Chains A and B, each alone.
Chain A
Amino acid sequence: MNSVAPKLYADDVSLVMVVLDTNPFFWTTSSLPFSKFLSHVLSFLNSIMLLNQFNQVVVIATGYNSCDYIYDSSLATDHGSENGKMPALCSNLLQKLEEFVIRDQQLRKDGSGEGLPSSLVSGSLSMALCYIQKVFRSGPLHPQPRILCLQGSPDGPEQYVAIMNAIFSAQRLMVPIDSCYIGSNNSAFLQQASYITGGVYLKPQQLDGLFQYLSTVFATDLHSRRFLQLPKSVGVDFRASCFCHKKTIDMGYVCSVCLSIFCKHHKKCSTCGSVFGQAQADASGSSRKRKISET
Chain B
Amino acid sequence: MSSREVIKRAKYKISVKDPGTPGVLKMNENKLLFRPSDPTSATKLDVEFRHIKGHKHTKEGSNKPPWLNLPHDQGGSYIFEFESFSDLHICREFVGNALAKSGEAAKAASVAKVSPATKVASEGSAVTHLDEQLSTTEMELRMKLLRENSELQKLHKQFVIGGVLTESEFWATRKKLLDGDNYRKLKQRVGFKNSMILDTKPMTDGRTNKVTFSLTPEIKYQIFVLKPAVHQAFLNFVPSKMTEKDFWSKYFRAEYLHSTKNAVAAAAEAAEDEELAMFLKDDDILAREARQKIRRVDPTLDMEADQGDDYTHLPDHGIFRDGSKDISESQQEHYKRTLSQDLNRQGAVVLEGRAVDVDLEDPRIVAQALVRSRPETNENASQERLERISRMTEIEDLQAPHDHPFAPLCIKDPREYFDAQQANALRSLDDTRAGTEQMKCNLTNEEVYGSLRKSISEIKTRGLNDPIVKPEVALMVFNGLTQNISSNKYQLGKNPQESILDRLPNTTKEELLHHWMSIQELLRHFWSSYPITTTYLNTKVTRLKDAMSQIYRQLEDIKASMQSDFRHQVSLLVRPMHQALDAAFQHYDADLQKRSARTGETPNGYS
List chain A positions with a Cβ less than 8 A from chain B.
22, 24-25, 27-29, 33-36, 38-40, 42-43, 85-86, 90-91, 94, 97-98, 101-102, 104-105, 108, 112, 115-117, 184-186, 188, 191, 204-206, 208-213, 216-217, 229-232, 234-239, 250-251, 279, 282-284, 286-291, 293-295
Contacts and interface: CB of A to CB of B under 8 A. Distances in A.
B180 interface: no
A287 B463 contact: no
A208 B459 contact: no
B420 A209 contact: no
Contact of A294 (B416, B453, B457, B586): B416
Interface stretch (B139-147, B535-543, B587-595): B587-595
Interface in B565-607: 576, 579-580, 583-584, 586-587, 590-591, 594
Contact of A85 (B431, B463, B492, B594): B463
A91 B462 CA distance: 12
A28 B448 contact: yes
A116 B451 CA distance: 16
B477 A209 contact: yes
Interface in B398-432: 411-412, 414, 416-417, 419-424, 426-427, 430-431
A91 B424 contact: no
Contacts of A211: 468-469
Contacts of A284: 590
B437 A94 contact: no
Contacts of A97: 456
A209 B473 contact: yes
Contact of B484 (A112, A231, A291): A231
Nearest to B458: A35
Contact of B423 (A191, A216, A288): A191
7 contacts: A29-B440, A34-B455, A43-B468, A108-B449, A185-B427, A234-B422, A291-B576
Given A27-B455, A101-B449, A116-B441, A185 B422 contact: no
Contacts of B464: 39, 42-43, 85-86, 90
B531 interface: yes
A110 B434 CA distance: 26
What secondary structure prevails in chain B residues at the interface with A? helix
Interface string B327-351: 0000000000000000000000000
Given A283-B591, A287-B584, 5 more contacts: A22-B452, A24-B448, A27-B448, A115-B438, A209-B476
B445 A105 contact: yes
Contacts of A43: 464-465, 468
A251 B575 CA distance: 13
Nearest to A208: B473
Contacts of B586: 286-287
B306 interface: no
Nearest to B420: A238
A279 B530 contact: yes
Interface in B482-503: 484-485, 488-489, 492, 496, 499-500
A39 B452 contact: no
B583 A286 contact: yes
Nearest to B476: A206
A94 B441 contact: no
Nearest to B441: A116
Contacts of B530: 279
A212 B482 CA distance: 13
Contacts of A25: 441, 443, 448
B365 interface: no
A27 B437 CA distance: 12
B576 A213 contact: no
Contacts of B476: 206, 209
A112 B445 contact: yes
Contact of A289 (B412, B441, B583, B590): B583
Shortest 6 CB-CB contacts between residues of A and residues of B: A235-B423, A85-B463, A287-B587, A185-B430, A24-B448, A34-B455
B456 A186 contact: no
How many chain B residues sit at the interface, stated as a range, is 35 or more
Contact of B587 (A22, A108, A251, A288): A288
Contacts of B465: 36, 39-40, 43
Contacts of B496: 232
Contact of B427 (A27, A205, A213, A237): A237
Contacts of B448: 24-25, 27-28
B463 A231 contact: no
A290 B452 contact: no
Contacts of A85: 462-464
A94 B426 contact: no
B489 A206 contact: no
B171 interface: no
Contacts of B478: 212, 216
A113 to B, nearest CB: 10
Given A184-B437, A237-B427, A216 B481 contact: yes
B459 A35 contact: yes
Contacts of B500: 235
A184 B430 contact: yes
B17 interface: no
B430 A232 contact: no
Contacts of A102: 453
Contacts of A98: 453, 456-457, 460
A176 to B, nearest CB: 13
Contacts of A38: 455-456, 459
Contacts of B430: 184-186
Contacts of A234: 422-423, 426, 488, 492
B456 A34 contact: yes
Nearest to A94: B460
B579 A291 contact: yes
A250 to B, nearest CB: 7
Contacts of B239: none
Nearest to B449: A105
A282 B594 CA distance: 9
A27 B445 contact: no
A24 B451 contact: yes
A39 B468 contact: yes
Given A184-B434, A229-B485, A33 B455 contact: yes
Contact of A208 (B457, B463, B469): B469
Given A287-B586, A294-B420, A205 B453 contact: no
Contact of A35 (B456, B499, B576): B456
Contact of A185 (B414, B434, B484, B590): B434
B481 A231 contact: yes
Contacts of B447: 28
A11 to B, nearest CB: 22
B423 A186 contact: yes
Contacts of B463: 85-86
B488 A231 contact: yes
A290 B580 contact: yes
Contacts of A250: 424
